[in-house]
A = this chain, B = another copy of it.
Amino acid sequence: MKLKISFQGERGAYSEEAIIQRFGENVELFPRPFLREVFSLAEVGTVDYAVVPIENSLEGSVGSTYDLLFSSNLKIVGEIILRVRHCVMANKGVKLEDIKEVWSHPQALAQCRGYIERHGWEPVPMYDTAGSAKLLKEKGLKNVAAIASKRAAQFYDLDILAEEVEDVPLNFTRFLILSRSEAEPTGKDKTSIIFAVSHKPGALYRALEVFANKDINLTKIESRPTKLRPWEYYFFVDFEGHVKDKRVSEALTLLAERVLFIKVLGSYPRSQ
């Protein structure tokens, strides 16, 4: 039986590259246009896992993923770190010198700005990287290129004209693997939680104190609007350890007394 995995975007999206990197080619893919559906498919059991982007090393966190984690009962069971390599692709027979326009997501265009300017191409923002490749193919255009993943070029049968065209090579995206069941401790785990604090001076500070006192290393802290009242926030915190570790469970017990609410999103093996 093939593993069934949902992800957001068109076939050939960077999420698909992340899935193949971790699970290999022998999987059944469920691409969906909206992230909400990617979660739903895992929640109802249509797929075994949802794989969703949580953070990019240049662009920062993916807010919509954080918001869906808040309301979902899925557990984080793993993470995948993908090195993002942007490729320039075009229809068969098109050469670099034929190209006048380049289509991609605005973030990808911005990450390849130096390369695009050196070629004198017009950057055209689109809503999706792989979607740009798909549209280019459908329209059979001869003076347009797309910037997307290698896998998108393979899937839409486009020629790759250049690889790794990003200005800064430090481009990694971290994805989460979500499931209905929890992951067991491995000894090299991290844990993700959400909590809210009251709107008083020092409230966040007193929440973080429980981790400092137990010498637990925070690897990430992120705030997201509550959507209940403007300019009120939930905090998403990642730290080293598993909820089944004594030190972690003691810290979380103390934390629960100091915050308005707390939710554990999961403990899972750290990726390096």
Contacts and interface: CB of A to CB of B under 8 A. Distances in A.
A61 B216 CA distance: 27
Interface stretch (A44-52, A90-98, A198-206): A198-206
B221 A211 contact: no
Given A201-B211, A202-B211, A212-B202, A227 B170 contact: yes
B220 A223 contact: yes
Contacts of A110: 34
Contacts of A164: none
Interface string A211-233: 11001111111111101111101
A58 interface: yes
A245 interface: no
Interface in A110-132: 110, 125-128
Given A221-B223, A225-B58, A204 B208 contact: yes
A205 B202 contact: no
A224 B106 CA distance: 19
A25 interface: no
Copies in the complex: 2
Contact of A126 (B56, B127, B223, B233): B127
A255 B222 CA distance: 21
A229 B171 CA distance: 10
A65 to B, nearest CB: 11
Given A206-B212, A212-B202, A172 B230 contact: yes
Contacts of A81: 230
Contacts of A208: 204-205, 208
A186 interface: no
Contacts of A154: none
A57 interface: yes
Contacts of A101: none
B227 A57 contact: yes
Nearest to A240: B201
A57 B225 contact: yes
Given A174-B231, A201-B211, A202-B211, 14 more contacts: A60-B224, A61-B223, A81-B230, A126-B127, A127-B127, A170-B228, A200-B217, A201-B212, A201-B215, A201-B217, A204-B218, A205-B212, A220-B223, A221-B233
